[in-house]
Each structure stands twice: as structure tokens, then as C-alpha cells.
Amino acid sequence: MHRARDAKGPDRGLFDLWSFVYDAPLIQWLVYRPEHDAVVRALRACGARRVLDVGCGTGLLAARVRREIGGECVVGCDFSRGMLDQAARRGNAAALVQATALRLPFRDASFDAIVSTEAFHWFPDQGAALREFRRVVAPSGRIFVSLVNPPAEWLSSAASALSRAVGEPFHWPTRARMRAQVRGAGFRVVGQRFVFRLPLALAFPTFLTEAEPAPELPSRAGAAKREPRFEGPSWQ
């Protein structure tokens, strides 16, 4: 049977199945809620009005941003149709678009903020994803990426090797490697904040990396604000 994947990435079917338990209260409380809280606080502080959630899952964070912060446009993007179907059935307040982080179907400079929580480690080419973030975020915008950043390279390598062995590859970069990747995609790192989560907060700590576009050529810096154009399948 054909397995729906990006090159060297995880099986989409895994996430379609995961969508049926994704919203379970205990899972949300342990895994996702601390990161969502940190992102909502950061978005309030930066005043973003157009927000894209990449790897949005069932859209809980995107809906919360729309509900608690408002703004001109909130979009949830995920490569799993199962996740987006669950979001649509719940009556998600945000626009929903099916796409991979490596090929975002939006115009350049479409968003004031891009967020990604507990998803970045699944992207098969993290550098390419960050370059796409750089393309679609406004010159004055911010990105917020939250995931496990192991305290040592050997832990990062061991986790990656284990994930490949079971057939669902992911990569948790260390904080230093995360900073290097973000800078390599054309951003300036603003900070990395520890996000406390149980049960492995110390062995596998979570950090929220915040970055802004590095200075660039005037042509793009002067780009006018535009509503995002969706070029892929969408759920409204």
C-alpha cells in the first residue's frame, strides 16, 4: 500500500488516526496546553493581526487565537486531512488549509506571525520549512516555534535514530542547533523560553523559539499588506 509521505517524512495516516484521540483532555493538558499558553502570551505581546498556525492539528490553538486575540485573519494549516476534518466538525473559528510546511500555499509576506507547536520535529526538511516561514511572514513579523530541544547532541541523535528505526522519523534539534537553523533561514533569534511540561521536562525540555526576519532588501521590506491567498484544499 502507498504511504502518503513527504520525502523521508512521517506517514500521514499516522496523523489521520491520531486525530481521533488528539483532543482528549489528558493529552491536551499534558502535551499541548502549556505550549499553547506560551504562544498565546507571546502573540498578545507582539500584537499580531494575521496569524498562521503550521501543523495546527485539530485547530485548537488556531481557534483559541481567533477567540482570545482576534485579528484580521487566523489560519490553521496541516498536512493531515484527518486532523482538519476533526477541526471542521468542531466548527473551528479559523480558516483551515491542507498543505505541507515545505510548500506553504500563501503569498509572500502574508502573515504578521507564524506559530508551530509540537509539529516542527516532524518536518522532514526543517531548513526548507523555516525558509517557507521566512517567505510568508511579513518583514516586521515574528515566528514562534515550540518543541522539545534536548540538552545534548547525543540525545537528539539517539531520538532521531529511534524514530527512524520504527518508521516514523522526526528530529528534535538542540537549542543551539535550533538557533543555527533559524538564523540560516534569514531570521534573527529574539529568545528561547522554557515551557514546563510533564512528565519529562528536564530530560527532554521544551522551548519556544521566537525570531524575527533579519534586515533585507528594501523591495520586500516595503511589501504592502495583503490578505493571504489560499492555493490548496481548504476547510471553512
Q: Per-residue pLDDT tens for 146-161? A: 999 999 999 999 999 9
Kindly report whether the peptide bond that precedes residue 199 is cis, defined as omega within 30 degrees of 0. Answer: yes
Q: Please report whether residue 197 resides in a domain.
A: yes
pLDDT-derived band at 235, boundaries 50, 70, 90: low
- pLDDT for 91 equals 78
Establish if 22 belongs to a structural domain.
yes
CA separation for the pair 198, 92 (Å, rounded): 28
Rounded Cα gap, residues 197 and 145, in angstroms: 15
Three-state DSSP class for residue 160:
helix
Write out pLDDT tens, residues 84-95.
999 998 876 689
* pLDDT tier for residue 131 given thresholds of 50, 70 and 90: very high
Q: Which domain holds residue 151?
A: 12-235
Gap between the Cα atoms of 29 and 35, Å rounded:
10
Q: What rounded mean pLDDT belongs to the chain?
A: 88
The CATH number linked to 22 is 3.40.50.150
Tell me, yes or no, whether 154 lies in a domain: yes
Residues present in the chain in total: 236
Instruction: Give every CB contact of residue 41 below 8 A, 6+ residues apart in sequence.
Output: none
Please provide the distance, in angstroms rounded to a whole number, between the alpha carbons at the two ends of the chain: 31
Residue 48, domain member (yes or no): yes
Of 230 and 206, the one with more pLDDT:
206
Mean pLDDT across the stretch 116-122? 97
Distance, in Å, from the CA atom of 231 to the CA atom of 45, rounded to the nearest integer, reads 30
Q: Is the pLDDT of residue 106 over 90?
A: yes
Model confidence band, residue 70 (pLDDT cutoffs 50, 70, 90) = confident
Q: What is the pLDDT of residue 219?
A: 46
- How far apart are alpha carbons 204 and 121 in whole angstroms? 13
Looking at the structure of the chain, the number of domains it has is 1
In a domain? residue 119: yes
Q: What is the pTM of this model?
A: 0.88
Task: Give CA–CA dist 181/132, Å, rounded.
Answer: 13
Is the backbone of residue 86 left (phi > 0), alpha (psi -120 to 50) or beta?
alpha
Domain assignment of residue 2, yes or no: no
CA Rg, the chain, in Å?
17
